[in-house]
Structure 1
Amino acid sequence: MTKYLTKDELALMLRVSVRTVSTYMKQGLLPQPLQLGRKLLWEESAVVQFIQPKPIFATRADAPVKRGRPRKAMR
């Protein structure tokens, strides 16, 4: 059986405020909720899968660029 979470329950699960859940929704950091009338519901398994950390593989092109003046060579 699928469990659905309200915005309040989702906020408790993520340990954030309800307002933060709204911000996450606007930023696309949460899966799309199911809307029943005025109530928003999230499928619990979809939220858990969505917030799992994803591996990041850095390549040379992704490496940070050092800015500023080059340092003097140490002797």
Structure 2
Amino acid sequence: MKYLTKTDVAALLRVSVRTITTYMSQGLLPQPRQLGRKLLWDESALVHYIERSAPVTSKLAMNGPAKRGRPRKSCVY
């Protein structure tokens, strides 16, 4: 059984480590096991979970990044 770190999962999904943290908070990834300070995912369980929920993750990619920050002031003339 092989375990993956957060960096390994980010490389597998081709996203940043920060995106993995966001996916965890949104419940888009299975819960990792914690060994000390490290979070570890079982590789086979993670791949199975990703294949099962592929339409959900593709919807996230299609929507693009979320708009963050303060809204711009609109100029009304």
Q: Which residue of 1 aligns with 2:28?
A: 29
C-alpha RMSD over aligned residues: 1.5
Larger radius of gyration: 1
How many positions carry a matched residue from both structures? Answer: 54
Structure 1 segments, 4+ long, off by >4 Å, are none
- Residues 14-63 of structure 1, C-alpha deviation per residue, up to 9 Å, x if partnerless? 00000000000000000110001110000001110111145x8xxxxxxx
Q: Which residue of 1 aligns with 2:15?
A: 16
TM-score calculated relative to the size of structure 1: 0.68
TM-score calculated relative to the size of structure 2: 0.66
Identity score, percent: 67
The runs of 5 or more residues in structure 2 that have no matched partner are 56-77
Give the Cα–Cα distance (whole angstroms) in 2 for the partners of residues 52 and 12 of structure 1: 16
The runs of 5 or more residues in structure 1 that have no matched partner are 57-75
Give the Cα–Cα distance (whole angstroms) in 1 for the partners of residues 21 and 44 of structure 2: 19
